[in-house]
Chains A and B, each alone.
Chain A
């Protein structure tokens, strides 16, 4: 149980996918302008990360590894995740239109997102068992959520401030992202000592 908590917390804070591993930067910069779209995107990412791990972990463990096909990992994972997200979108559209409305636009965006692929591959590389892999995916998704919500707050403050002309737009956004990311480095080494 302690190990699961450590995995969850370290995925959220220490190995935060956006701010420490620098995966999924595209939606982080692209969709973080408003809080509601940032929330929608993050929820979609959490959802897809969990689904993708649930699908790819068994494929790697029971199909690729026994047959010595581990080197096909990347291409098979991309294929499966893309098909899975499409399937989920169809199912949502049919049975949960309200959820589809709030997540719908973001789902196709993250089919080929590197954060999602990164979670599934790192789950295998770390040698996690299935529950551990799922907890790690949940933590990674929550970490993404945290980063998005925090950064949308930073950006709404930026919007209202008087930025020098040459810094307006992307430069100030990237600078702010760097500072937010720097703050997350402070979490390094916290969790290991928390349960020591």
Chain B
């Protein structure tokens, strides 16, 4: 059990020692040696994080197709391998081998860079997520702010795609997406502010640490009444931010083809697809970290707890997708500005009032 608990930190330390030992023979200056080792270790962590993104995305697409199929009383993919599990590899090969089409009148550079610009911020957020005890690749003291800042960049790539494609559907989709993301960013950040007030820290590692003990009742979700309100506001805005049903107006197939990625094919389209699912994973991972105690939990290794909580939230998002119809643009805007923002603002005031009580009972 103990081996599993500290599996990844131990592997990291062992590799670190290994490279130090390897370089000791070369008789380098101490600062050169530690520099080279930290460079190699940093690269290993980065490659690991970047490599799991396609894996996460592919398995999430499979889960989503299965779950939504069940909700809609269908079977979902069931031809390739047991329960259709190898469908994900078929999809991958399809995506990699498809022709890459660039429209004749597209703005070449913007069209080319848009999927890259969409993908980079989301991948960067993976670096601050505390995946388990002692498993945050980077423990920034501005962790929460870092996440908010990078997720605000997601709009840029969508904008570039919508504009660079030189297609009216792409343009409309891009405009819709950006209007929606900017509107829902506000309640999302305001909901997070309540949690930052409770934790008194912007570091995601510290926020998780503060939620340990009390058999799970120290999770900020249970900081009644402010925790649950913040959680609901956060989850609704998060689902809107990743453009999922019922907030999928930017790519509503029946209205505007596929929105901002109408003119994309092959792996460029694959990057948009990947960004979408990775975004879903990231917002759920952040929700698990902020509200559900991150990796805290009994018996199972911490990193498994983290994935269990994140997957649970992802399943809720898929459930929502299978249940609700798409809402209208005016309803979307009204809901963000007239319901979520006031609720989140009142919640911040409530948090301020409740802080002395929480301190008195030892919650924070």
A and B associate in one complex: no
